[in-house]
Structure 1
Amino acid sequence: MHVLIIPSWYPSGPGDINGIFFQQQAQALQRAGVQVGVIAPVFRSMRGEPKSIFTGGYGVRSFVEAHIPTYLYKSMYFFPRTAIDRSRWLKAGWKLFRRYVREHGRPDIIHAHSMNYGGILAHEIHSETGIPYVLTEHSSTYARKLVRDWQRDAMMRSAKQCAARIAVSRDFCRLLESEYDGLDWQYIPNILPAKFAEPFDAANKPQNDGFTFCSVAHLNYNKGYDILLPAFAEALKKHPGLKLKIGGTGLADAQLHELTRKLGIGNSVTFLGKLQNEEVLALMRQSDAFVLASRHETFGVVFIEALSQGLPVIATRCGGPNSTVTPENGLLVPTENIGALAGALVELYENRGRYDAAVLRENCLNEYGEQSVIGQIKAQYRAVLNTAHN
């Protein structure tokens, strides 16, 4: 079976975690015996990376990574959120597809990730070549009401022609069924990164001076740190020994440091900056619980990363965590609610003996581990190819 992956965004190089879950899934498929290739236009943001207009590089880059031939087309979004830049992205994708086929042959099936733009490119390729495609949707733009009217026609055409439509949480399936009227979606979660499934003895974790919550995400408005920090300040009034360690960087970095200072909680909160996967793993193994107060999540890989390390989780009812967080492994609270989040921090700490780290880990691996998720994806591929050949 030969599968070509078309992600709508992808890591641009070592150290880049943007779209890393697409990369991890591709590598897991390869390990499971599937012939895999990746083509990915990687367009940088003028707002997020303005200096890269001169230093980021342009054009095709090809390499083999973890036995996967990978083709990137590096460029810049010069006209963001316009049809012009979508057309440029699709043109780059076609260039990569034609080169990939010349050098590696025609794939049996295409797996696109996110309708806009990968799904649209997969639909165009299908229309010209007849290669069937499946799509997994990850984008939070639906919940955030950021899909523009001019984008919808092409997205709907692509959705109608998908041989299988997958969403990464059950709540997200329901949302997408309302967005794409008359089309069914099925739930297959994102995969737990392989490093987080490596053997780990939770019983021998180092003991912290104070009970430590960790949190890892981009420091931006959507991740809700402006809610978490005041909630943590409230929790500290009842339990002054609590600690909070935050990994990540982003546009809100300076504002969050200032908010921490204003709240007077600098001795209890540590900002760790940008973390690589190994550093996230180490942080979780040195912490007692995980918390994130997102406003929107379609899935949230970081929640299953935490559970895999035996950490109970506090999350908001923002979409993806609704499928992941249960009374057995953590607490769910409403979004935008400082009081409820503060109460959850206190409740989890005071009832920390309720959670068995080994059980949390085992249940996480059973549902989100490589064997389970890749088995479901391969079953979808087989069903699509059987239908195409009949």
Structure 2
Amino acid sequence: MADPAVHIATSRFAPHGGGLERWTGELATALGDRGLRPVVYACEDPVDPRQHRGRPFEIVDVASLRAPWEAPLHAAGLERRLFEQERSRLSFACLRTELGKRLGAGPAVVLSTFATTVGFTAHLVTEALGLPHVPLLAGTDFTRGFRNKIDRLALLEVCRAARVVVGKSTEQVRELRRHLPGTAFEVIETSVEPPGRRRHRPAGPGIGIFSDGGFSFKKGTGVLLDAFAALRAGGVDARLTVCGTDQGGQEDYWAARRRRAEQEAGPTVCFPGPLDRAQIVDRLRASDIYASATLGEGSSAARALALCLGVPMVTTRCGELADEAPPGHLRLVPVADAPGFHEALRTLAGDLLGGRLRIDDTAVDGFRRRFAPDREWAAWAGLLRKVAADG
């Protein structure tokens, strides 16, 4: 049988975008390396072709192809709900047309990267074209979509009609199976390429805390800033670095929070903006604690990298860590428990300063095997080949 075409529908596609965007490019490249034929369809924001020169797969800019049709909608000044309804009609029509142009005689499967957004459009397109659909559950699909009265209905419809639903964690799959007992599920966690060297904190006083979650409501950055302030108020010599960008629409709030933190804590806080992977690895290796108060994850590449480097961690019990029996250098607190996060950060810092903390190297070895890229990409290639072959 010929190698299958894998049509990947995603909302936006930029090499320096969020984690899901970077992961989509890595997946398409890995599938191509394994003999499949990936095509990426960017359905929400236009693609800058200068950023994608040399990509070993085709990228279809559905958003730009939709633009001439929606010009009257912009001019009409429609209320947001009506505008989005009309745009969804265009997104469906354009994706169906572009995907249909690329269908050949060989097997094909459609993969979508966010079930409650582009995944719903992909569901409608695969329904119209008679193609198998494999939706991927993003973290927000579960932590927001599954738990609100509007998106929940869309999520359940997409999953119910799918050939296989891929979750990033057992937490997602366990909950959805209760509502969709006839649906096939697979769990494929996000992988990371762990550097050869592990954590090596240089000698020095105090506690260095690092987070690469940016400034975001859903990542709990405000709770982290509060916990750091409480730590210093309690007499702990601590430093905090938070890298990354502001969540869209929240820029003014986070700018004010950074100014306040700098006024109160001076040079003990550092906000360097976005960093590349090599810079993040260097910061992690030199840190005492990795911290994330996130409200939810599918499978966090940032946390996986810290786990594979053996960095002590304070984070919330969700996503890939929801069912974890944590080693001693990993502290898990319930989601949305700000006092619990404060206390966990305080006690972990105290254990480090008191010399009571030991890194569990056996657990670190296990994380490095668990989050190995070959394992993730082989699982995806095998699953998509099987779905395409079954037709």
Distance 1:312 1:320, change over 3 A: same
Is 1:369 paired with 2:365?
no
Q: 1:225 aligns with which of 203, 221, 224?
A: 221
Structure 1 unaligned runs (5+)? Answer: 44-56
Corresponding residue of 2:127: 127
The 8 Å contact of residues 7 and 22 in structure 1, kept in 2 or not, is answered as no
Mark the CA change 1:379 to 1:30 in structure 2 (over 3 Å): closer, same or farther: same
Q: 1:60 to 1:179 in 2, by over 3 A?
A: farther
Q: By how many angstroms is 1:240 displaced?
A: 2.6
Q: Which amino acid aligns with 1:255?
A: A
Q: What do you get for the CA RMSD once the two structures are aligned?
A: 3.4
Give the Å deviation of 1:256.
Answer: 1.9
Deviation at 1:41, TM superposition (A): 1.2
Amino acid at match of 1:74: A
Which residue of structure 2 lines up, in the alignment, with residue 289 of structure 1? 289
Q: Which residue number in structure 1 is paired with residue 39 of structure 2? A: 37
Structure-1 residue corresponding to 2:62 = 73
Q: Is the 8 A contact 1:64 1:70 kept in 2?
A: no
CA distance in 2, matches of 1:117, 1:107: 25
Looking at both structures, which has the greater relative contact order when contacts are Cα pairs under 8 Å and sequence separation is at least 6? 2
The answer as to whether partners of 2:213 and 2:219 remain within 8 angstroms in 1 is: yes
* Whole-angstrom CA distance in 2 between matches of 1:144 and 1:33: 36
Report sequence identity in percent: 18
Q: Secondary structure at the match of 2:284?
A: helix
Residue 301 of structure 1 is matched in structure 2 by 301
| Counterpart Cα distance in 2 of 1:275 and 1:84 | 38
Q: C-alpha distance in 2, partners of 1:112/1:378? A: 15
More strand by share: 1
Shift of 1:164: 1.0
Per-residue CA distance 1:148-189 (angstroms, 9 max, x = gap): 766666654432231211111111113333565753533221
Higher deviation after alignment, 322-331 or 365-374: 322-331
CA distances 1:119-176 after superposition (whole Å, capped 9, x unpaired): 3343334334433222211141443358776666665443223121111111111333
* SS of residue matched to 1:137: coil
Query: Is this contact kept in 2: 1:61–1:73, CA < 8 A?
Result: no
**Cα distance in 2 for residues equivalent to 1:356 and 1:149:** 43
- Kindly indicate whether the alpha-carbon contact (under 8 Å) linking 2:308 and 2:365 is maintained by their aligned counterparts in 1: yes
CA distance in 1, matches of 2:52, 2:262: 46
What is the TM-score of this pair, normalised by structure 1?
Answer: 0.80
SS in 1 for 2:63: strand
Find the counterpart in structure 2 of residue 211 from structure 1.
Answer: 207
Q: Does 1:158 align with 2:155?
A: no
Distance 2:165 2:372 in 1: 21
Distance 1:17 1:178, change over 3 A: same
Which AA in structure 2 matches 1:256?
R
Matches within 5 A, 1:131-146: 131-144=131-144
Secondary structure, aligned partner of 1:350:
helix
Indicate the SS of the match to 2:191. coil
Q: Which residue identity is paired with 2:91?
A: W
- Alignment partners' CA distance in 1, 2:186 and 2:273: 36
Distance 1:184 1:300 in 2: 23
Q: How does 1:84-99 map to 2 (within 5 A)?
A: 84-99=86-101
Q: Hey, what's the Cα distance between the residues in 2 that align with 1:106 and 1:63?
A: 27
Q: Note the residue ranges of structure 2 that are not aligned, 5 or more in a row.
A: none
Q: CA deviation at 1:200?
A: 2.3
C-alpha distance 80-328 of structure 1, shift in aligned 2 (>3 A): farther
Aligned to 1:16: 17
AA partner of residue 384 (structure 2): Y
1:60/1:71 contact within 8 Å kept = no
Assess, with a 3 A threshold, how the Cα gap between structure 1 residues 317 and 201 changes in structure 2: closer, same or farther: closer
| 2:17 aligned partner, one-letter code | D
TM-score when normalising by structure 2: 0.80
Q: Secondary structure of 1:218's match?
A: coil
Work out the CA distance in 2 between the residues paired with 1:197 and 1:289.
Answer: 18
Residues 323-380 of structure 1 deviation map (CA, whole Å, 9 limit, x = unaligned): 4672355111123434322221232233346443754543222111111122222332
> Is the contact made by 1:249 and 1:273 (CA closer than 8 Å) also made in structure 2?
yes
Which residue number in structure 2 is paired with residue 257 of structure 1? 258
Within 2, Cα distance between the matches of 1:84 and 1:149? 22
Q: Which amino acid aligns with 1:341?
A: F
Measure, in 2, the Cα distance between the counterparts of 1:208 and 1:90: 57
Q: Matched residue pairs, number?
A: 367
C-alpha distance in 2 between matches for 1:261 and 1:64: 40
Question: What letter corresponds to residue 16 of structure 1 in structure 2?
Answer: G
